[in-house]
Amino acid sequence: MGEAIAACLISNNIYHSPNIWITEPHLQRREYLHAKYGVSLGECLNAEAYILAIKPQIFSKLASSLVPSNAPVVISIMAGISIEQLELALIRQSQPVIRAMPNTPAQIGAGITAIALNKSVEPAHKLIAEKIFAAIGEVIEVPESLLDAVTGLSGSGPGYVAVIIEALADGGVAAGLPRAIAMQLAIQTVLGTSQMLKQTGLHPAQLKDQVTSPGGTTIAGIKQLEKSGVRSGIIEAVVAAAKRAQELGS
């Protein structure tokens, strides 16, 4: 995710490559990032923001060494690590901290990021975060208490959608379609439906009703989806992922 953010910041001309500094412990990975993007390597002492893009499981061991004491604002994209945990680990009173949850479509600039701010964040800090995350998609602000739910829905959601697309394609193959055609149909159907909902503002139930004629093919398929518990399965997946996000921070 850190690479995706850097790549989009560069491609959108928000920051020039040499002005993005990356700290990476693995030599091969450092060399790859420098060669591909032209970013600077090492610690920048006068950055306008520091982004923590590390695994939450190693955060406690590394936190105090990753961010200088004069950091203007610290932005974390770690799942489950609370603002309070960040504040304690950074050992600086009144440290502006922003917790963010992007998702993997950020890699193509089509993601969505939810941000939550601590009490020390000023409007200028928020603008910096919005500028950074707007490069990878949409940005919304939520209370921190909702970030684990955001993680369960949009953070983990691309995985659920990928499973749904795969299942649609498998269904097409089972019905007689060649694999490549079934996959193309499945991907574009999900993409087009999402775009239609976004552009029209229709509730999903309205769109469903528009394509569901009495005694037709769609209602036969929806009946089977309900019989198989697909709706409740997706709901439970979001809840389970949100619960896991809470566990990561405990």
Does residue 150 form part of some domain? no
Q: Where does a domain end: 85, 118, 145?
A: 145
Residue 8 shares a structural domain with residue 121 = yes
Whether residue 15 sits in one domain with residue 119: yes
In this prediction, residue 46 carries a pLDDT of 81
User: Do 17 and 122 sit in the same domain of this protein?
Assistant: yes
- Same domain (yes/no): 141, 161: no
CA angle (150, 20, 28) in 5-degree steps: 90
Among 23, 24, 51, which Cα is nearest to 135's?
51
Residue 166 and residue 128 share a domain = no
Same domain, 123 and 41: yes
Tell me the average pLDDT of the chain: 91
Please give the pLDDT value at position 91: 67
Over 70: is that where the pLDDT of 63 sits? no
250 pLDDT more than 80: no
- Whether 93 and 200 share a structural domain: no
Instruction: Residue 128: give its domain's CATH number.
Output: 3.40.50.720
As a whole-number percent, the residues of the chain with pLDDT over 90 amount to 75
Give the per-residue pLDDT at 64: 63
Q: Is residue 43 one of the residues assigned to a domain? A: yes
Paired with 76 in beta bridges are 52, 99
Q: Are residues 123 and 94 located together in one domain of the fold? A: yes
Please state, in angstroms and rounded to a whole number, the distance separating the CA atoms of residues 231 and 162: 16
Above 80 in pLDDT, residue 129?
yes
Residue 96: domain span = 2-145
Which residue in the block uniquely carries the two structure tokens 């659920």?
A: 160
Residue 249 has pLDDT above 80, yes or no: no
Residue 32 lies in a domain: yes
* CATH number of the domain encompassing residue 224: 1.10.3730.10
Are residues 42 and 107 both part of a single domain? yes
Looking at the fold, whether 121 and 197 belong to one and the same domain comes out as no
Distance (Å, whole) CA 187 – CA 191: 6
151 part of a folded domain: no
> What whole-number distance in Å separates Cα of residue 123 and Cα of residue 187?
39
Shared domain for 106 and 138, answered yes or no, is yes
Flag whether 161 is in a domain. Answer: yes
Which of 110, 145, 180 is the last residue in one of the domains? 145
pLDDT tens-digit readout, 151-208: 999 999 999 999 999 999 999 999 999 999 999 999 999 999 999 999 999 999 999 9
Which range has highest mean pLDDT (22-36, 65-79, 186-200)?
186-200
The answer, yes or no, to whether residue 58 has pLDDT greater than 70, is: yes
Domain count along the chain: 2
Query: Same domain, yes or no, for 13 and 126?
Result: yes
Average pLDDT over residues 222-229: 96
Bridge partner residues of 184 (DSSP):
none
Please state the rounded mean pLDDT for residues 116-127.
95
Q: CA-CA distance, 164 to 215, in Å (whole number)?
A: 24
The tokens of 46 are what? 């006068």
